[in-house]
Amino acid sequence: MGLENENNNQERILAVATTLFARQGLEQTSLGDIAAAAGLSKGTVYYYYRSKDDLIYDIMVCSFQKLTDSLIENLHLLGSDGSPARIVQMTLEKVLVEQDLARLTFYLTMNAITGNDNLRLKIREKYLEWRKMIANEIVNLFGLHLTDSELAAQTSTVLAVIDGITLQYLIAPNDVDISVIAQQFSRMFDSGEIKIGKGGRRMSKPKLVVLGGAGDMGERVVREVAGKAGALVVVADYNLSRARRLAEELGVEACQVDVRQRQALGDVLKDAALVVNCVGPFYRFAAPVALAAIEAGVDYIDICDDDDATLALLSLDGLARRKGVGLLVGMGWTPGISNIMVRRAAQRLDRADDVDITWVGSVSDSEGLAVIKHVVHAVTRRTPMFLNGQWIEVEALGGARETEFPAPIGKVAAYYCGHPEPVTLPRFMDGLRNVTLRGYLLPHEIQNLVRAFIVLEMVDNERKIDVLSDLLQPLLPVLSNLGEKAAPPLSGIKVEVTGTLGTETKTVSLCSVDSMERLTGIPPALAALNVLGGEWELLPGVHAPESYIEPEAFIRQLAEREIEVEEV
């Protein structure tokens, strides 16, 4: 098959599919119908498109690309003296010439939003790519000096106006005067702080606050974002001397904050664009800090790893939406990388049914007090698992299951413990039947020590947990050498997703092993960089990683920082 003939065939398939989808609807049009209308064999259509989703995606890519090309073309035609009104008007006129394609694009977008998560995430990634392309053209042409987040907001506003007016025009074309609307749009820009053209002004850098930024996990976040975020990074920590040392080393700012003091926390968050919360234990601090962020109107990311705290965070969704604040919760190692791995594994199946998640943490891999409190909290109470389509509380330390990790971790017999994944995954991924999570501590002898604490009633309330954690923290180097073999300074996460592929039952297993502070600190740092850089749009409401992040792109970003997610 020659290259020219290949291109002609694919263009014919796209053109015919666009027409049939517009006339007959998505559900009523099969790939066979498209092949017949295009005068091609079914095999030829399947050669280009394995599924209808792939074809829908390409149609939407063509539609968005035409809009992008039109905007960029008009920007260059008008030059740096062009008004927003003229740019919007010329772009709309060009888009509305192809009303069938515009109408179909809205229809397909709604289908992706309401019923197809994989397609939605793919479209979202491509849409952000086009938005960045347009933003770069605006910067280069008009010589603007704006921060990345300001430029992303400006470009999103232009696209929102075009999308909204196009939709209104398709519904009632006689009621929409494009030239009048375009003039009004121009006046709104000229009267505000953001203006397309040489009048654009440099605004102060957006403020990124890392709460607990001098702690084990928070320090990694700060190191990853310093000098890369295009933002004023503030290390906010209870330990001011440690925060100042880190700030001086990295050339960022430092301040003291006690997150238990509501007024002081509000003062730190004032005027911030984004906050990353690394203050644990999260069963104690996640919800109050998130509420403070919502009250301050500041978008929020955290590494919350407690199931009960996650339920409290999810309950803030309505309030966050009303206040226009976006919260991305559980964006660490587990949860975080684990959720994204589950979504990635599920994408390799036609249907995902069962999810088994196992983490392994080494005593020699973290010395943080909050980590100790979290682990004790996770294994000393009943915790929710998602079994046979419903949430059921199970006893922690039960449900032992053997799982093999790469050396030097090896085989472990992990047990139920409290973590957020069984709480969020069934909420944001339709059709799951079972979601279980187990954990294991190294060295192996630590399990017996934990059980002894429980039997002796040394950890049956928060006060006792605090006292025991304070006693254990200085002993961690000794505990890491219990037994015959010292615990390696590594932690790991493994997900196993079972479902169907074609007519067969298949399990997809993904695994990642690294140090705990890298596994936990790098993901929220990447999320902050993506949000501040305009790559991601953190919409109002409470989001979990699996509902918000396109897995493949994020796994590539992890790999660039030498965190490998491997199929095993």
What pLDDT sits at residue 6? 55
Instruction: Classify residue 11: in a domain, yes or no.
Output: no
What pLDDT sits at residue 44? 87
Mean pLDDT score of the chain, rounded to an integer? 83
Instruction: Classify residue 44: in a domain, yes or no.
Output: no
What pLDDT sits at residue 195? 42
471-524 pLDDT tens trace:
776 666 656 566 555 567 889 999 999 999 999 999 999 999 999 999 999 999
227 and 152 within one domain: no
CB atoms within 10 A of CB 110: 11
C-beta contacts of 70-79 below 8 A and 24+ residues apart: 70/94, 70/95, 71/134, 71/137, 71/158, 71/162, 72/133, 72/134, 72/137, 75/137, 75/138, 75/141, 76/137, 76/141, 79/141
C-beta contacts of 473-477 below 8 A and 24+ residues apart: 473/367, 473/369, 473/372, 476/363, 476/364, 476/367, 476/372, 477/364
Instruction: Classify residue 366: in a domain, yes or no.
Output: yes
Domain harbouring 427, CATH code: 3.30.360.10
CB atoms within 10 A of CB 356: 20
**Alpha carbon of 56 to those of 67, 120, 142, 249, 281: distances in Å?**
17, 11, 35, 50, 45
Instruction: Classify residue 196: in a domain, yes or no.
Output: no
Question: Which is it for strands 401-404 and 390-395: parallel, antiparallel or unpaired?
Answer: unpaired
* DSSP bridge pairs for 495: 357, 510
What pLDDT sits at residue 197? 39
Domain harbouring 260, CATH code: 3.40.50.720
What does the alpha-carbon distance between residue 254 and residue 214 come to, in Å, rounded to a whole number? 9
Instruction: Classify residue 373: in a domain, yes or no.
Output: yes
Q: Report the C-alpha dihedral over residues 108, 110, 116, 122, rounded to 10 degrees.
A: 70
Host domain of residue 302: 207-333+520-563
360 and 239 within one domain: no
**Alpha carbon of 462 to those of 19, 286, 306, 310: distances in Å?**
64, 16, 14, 18
> Which one of 23-32, 85-94, 180-189, 346-355 scores highest in mean pLDDT?
346-355
Among 160, 191, 222, identify where a domain stops. Answer: 191
Phi, psi for 120 (deg, rounded to 5): -60, -45
408 and 292 within one domain: no
Instruction: Report how many domains make up the chain.
Output: 3
Domain harbouring 58, CATH code: 1.10.357
345 and 494 within one domain: yes
Instruction: Classify residue 69: in a domain, yes or no.
Output: yes
559 and 509 within one domain: no
Considering Cα of 122, then 126, then 131, then 135, what sign does the dihedral take? Answer: positive
Q: Tell me: cis bond preceding 426? Omega within 30 of 0 counts.
A: no
Q: Where are the beta strands (DSSP E) in 199-243?
A: 207-211, 232-237
493 and 403 within one domain: yes
360 and 244 within one domain: no
Phi, psi for 271 (deg, rounded to 5): 70, 5
139 and 163 within one domain: yes
Among 133, 163, 191, identify where a domain stops. Answer: 191
Structural tokens at position 150: 């300001």
Instruction: Classify residue 66: in a domain, yes or no.
Output: yes
pTM of the model: 0.68
What does the alpha-carbon distance between residue 335 and residue 530 come to, in Å, rounded to a whole number? 19
What does the alpha-carbon distance between residue 316 and residue 327 come to, in Å, rounded to a whole number? 9
In 42-98, which residue ranges form alpha helices assigned H by DSSP?
A: 42-48, 52-78, 84-97
Comparing 329 with 194, which gets the higher pLDDT? 329
309 and 234 within one domain: yes
H or E segment to which residue 353 belongs: strand 351-362
What does the alpha-carbon distance between residue 502 and residue 3 come to, in Å, rounded to a whole number? 31
Question: Which is it for strands 541-543 and 326-328: parallel, antiparallel or unpaired?
Answer: parallel
345 and 491 within one domain: yes
423-439 pLDDT tens trace:
999 999 999 999 999 99
**AA letter at 12:** R
137-191 pLDDT tens trace:
665 555 555 555 566 666 777 677 777 777 777 777 777 676 776 666 655 555 4
CB atoms within 10 A of CB 115: 10
**In the predicted structure, residue 96 carries a pLDDT above the cut 80:** no
Structural tokens at position 421: 């994944």
Instruction: Classify residue 447: in a domain, yes or no.
Output: yes
**Among the listed residues 205, 209, 195, the one whose alpha carbon sits nearest the alpha carbon of residue 243:** 209
251 and 116 within one domain: no
530 and 487 within one domain: no
195-221 pLDDT tens trace:
443 333 333 478 999 999 999 899 999
